[in-house]
Chain A
Amino acid sequence: EAGVAQSPRYKIIEKRQSVAFWCNPISGHATLYWYQQILGQGPKLLIQFQNNGVVDDSQLPKDRFSAERLKGVDSTLKIQPAKLEDSAVYLCASSSLRGGEGRNTIYFGEGSWLTVV
């Protein structure tokens, strides 16, 4: 079974520029997440999708971050304009609630490393 795919793996941009990250979840997974992980910290949820609807975007800085999952499969996360503090790893993850509602294992991609200079 293929895992969560993300691209690009690495990106360096100047502040005030824009960047977009792409994610393809595990086939059949209805739930997709974007997490931000700053160096030395744990991942922080940015947004959660259920199919193509937003479940939770309470921690997404909406003045500069946007995310979409138009067909309920792939997703893109965009930052515009980028700030220095956006330097982080952006982790995409997916999960399925099949097999019992108590089981919610999340599978992560390798991440997209962003450096803003």
Chain B
Amino acid sequence: SQQGEEDPQALSIQEGENATMNCSYKTSINNLQWYRQNSGRGLVHLILIRSNEREKHSGRLRVTLDTSKKSSSLLITASRAADTASYFCATDAQAGTALIFGKGTTLSVSS
């Protein structure tokens, strides 16, 4: 079963624009993580936010978490063509349990 649902399913923007992806989940979580997957490749970890955190930054990435709404957002600022990929949110119910992934958002950045 899939815990997270990303929205939108697909997003097309121009280089330099910001990209925002949303994730909703169903049950309580320990952590929420975002992963990137380039076409034909494995998943790469981007950022982890704990359930007691509300916002986190890493370079051009900004993640927010609202546990009351069971939702998270990933913002990529000043996007580049190299950001073209699928982005997945993943949650774990408690430490030591496996991550459950959403269906992903496909981001296309054109130059």
Contacts and interface: CB of A to CB of B under 8 A. Distances in A.
Interface stretch (B36-44, B59-67, B76-84): B36-44
Contacts of B88: 42-43
Interface residues of B, number: 26
Given A101-B95, A104-B95, A105-B33, A42 B2 contact: yes
A97 B45 CA distance: 16
B48 A101 contact: no
Given A42-B2, A42-B101, A42-B103, A101 B96 contact: yes
A105 B45 contact: yes
Interface of A: 4, 31, 33, 35, 40-45, 48, 50, 55-56, 91, 93, 97, 101-111
Interface of B: 2, 4, 30-31, 33, 35, 41-45, 48, 50, 88, 90, 92, 95-104
